[in-house]
Amino acid sequence: MKFLIVNGPNLNMLGIREPEVYGSMTYEELVYFLHEQAVALGVEIEVFQSNCEGEIVNEIQRAYRRIDGIIINPAAYTHTSIAILDALKAVSIPAAEVHLSDVTKREEFRQVSYAGMACEFHFIGEGKQGYINAMKALKEKLEAAH
Ligand code: DQA
């Protein structure tokens, strides 16, 4: 079972950007944690980060017929990108949305999630654990389907 984990703009700045919102964990530490937890869960992962919307769309398209589940934190593109929503719908791979912070309690402009409209699962405000809960939810769903 292979999952693609996609992280959007500025998540490479974790540990530096707004630590009062996102904490002190660096992006490298997050990626290390994800690989460790994937091994523990018995799933394979690919982790991709980009600050560019089109590159995220390309990566989602590349997942077609290759990847069993997508876990996506589109960061700021969550609230703006219909292209990412359309890409998720196009490949029709089961998907989970993750946000480190609790966007529901933040600014008004963060209250819409386009990408989330193509996701079956949502883990919001659970920090790095959200990614693990997303892996577990997708794994259970895929196992139930077999
Ligand atoms: C975020 C929330 C977004 O609103 C923000 O633009 C981000 C990170 C989160 O993980 O909490 O960059 O997706």
- Catalytic residue IDs: 22, 99
Please give the helix or strand (H or E) that residue 123 lies within, else none: strand 121-124
Q: Is the pLDDT of residue 66 over 80?
A: yes
Q: Mean pLDDT throughout 49-71? A: 98
Q: Which residues line ligand 1 (CB under 6 A)?
A: 10, 73, 75-76, 78, 99-101, 103, 110
What per-residue confidence (pLDDT) applies to 130? 98
Q: What spacing in Å lies between the alpha carbon of 9 and ligand 1's midpoint? A: 9
CA 118, CA 125: separation in Å to the nearest integer?
Answer: 19
Specify the pairing of strand 2-7 against strand 69-73: parallel
Q: What spacing in Å lies between the alpha carbon of 144 and ligand 1's midpoint? A: 31
pLDDT bracket for residue 146 (50, 70, 90): confident
Q: Mean pLDDT throughout 95-117? A: 97
CA 87, CA 107: separation in Å to the nearest integer?
Answer: 26
What per-residue confidence (pLDDT) applies to 63? 98
Q: Is pTM beyond 0.85 here?
A: yes
